[in-house]
Amino acid sequence: SRRTIYITGASTGIGAATARAAVAQGWAVVGLARSKARLGALADELGDAFLAVAGDVAAQADQARAVEAGIERFGRLDAAFANAGLGASVPGTEAGDPENWRQMIDVNIWGALLTAKVALPALRGRRGHFLVTGSRAGRVSLKGSVYGATKWFVHGWAANLAEEMREWGGRCTVIAPGMVDTPFFDSPRPEGLRAEDVARAVLYALEQPPGMAVGEVTLMPNPAGAQE
């Protein structure tokens, strides 16, 4: 049977690019996001190797259903990628909207925790791999940014989870990009990384021999380097 990965936030951006890259490497993918239409288009593109599950990462039952459906369809779960996230507009703490903070906490923190909660029992049996999308913003200070602080949580938690998983031979990787040109922003970011660049880093971490764990991959755009 095919190695199987559960990806949240699979409908666009980094999640969709990772689904494509994983399928190209022979993985089966269970993809979760809220948008049925976008997931359906990706399922049409990727065929049998992709199972779309519409759901909200902040709802434990939705994520549990996705993992169960994936195991039923593909027979196993080898990896989970907690990637769903939002929060590009960062007006700071004084000017920020508390409803927006709640949303970022629900998706970026709570949603990622729930991905681990529902996937770890299956991953343990395969000495599996958990990956999560952190950020450059989870490593540096960004004036007033609550978004950045949700990613500081992700980095801190993932370091602790890595120790927990190591006890049974599991691996935990943080993918920490700088700016990526995705629908995360409401306008194009040509100076940013491509979603495909980030997907390559995910596959790099996934494809290492099991005796080696990639703890964190930092990816920075290099627009001057891309010029002819």
Question: Residues 73 to 132: which contact ligand NJP by CB under 6 A?
Answer: 83-86, 107
96 Ramachandran zone, left/alpha/beta (phi>0; psi -120 to 50): beta
What is the rounded CA–CA span in Å between residue 11 and residue 43? Answer: 10
Q: Tell me the one-letter amino acid at 116.
A: A
Is residue 147 annotated as a catalytic residue, yes or no?
yes
- Is the CB of 35 or the CB of 60 nearer to ligand NJP? 35
Residue 179 engages ligand NJP in binding (rule: CB under 6 A): yes
Half-sphere exposure at residue 228, Cβ-oriented, CA atoms within 13 angstroms: 0
- Is the CB of 28 or the CB of 107 nearer to ligand NJP? 107
The residue from 21, 43, 67, 180 that contacts ligand NJP (CB under 6 A) is 180
Residue 22 engages ligand NJP in binding (rule: CB under 6 A): no
CB-count burial class (<10 Å; 0-12, 13-18, 19+) for 140 = exposed
E-strand spans in 34-145? 50-54, 79-82, 129-133
Write down the catalytic residue from 147, 162, 165, 214.
147
Q: What minimum distance in Å lies between the beta carbon of 158 and ligand NJP?
A: 12
Active-site residues: which are they? Answer: 147
Interface residue list for ligand NJP (CB under 6 A): 8-15, 32-35, 38, 56-58, 83-86, 107, 133, 135-137, 177, 179-180, 182-184, 192, 195
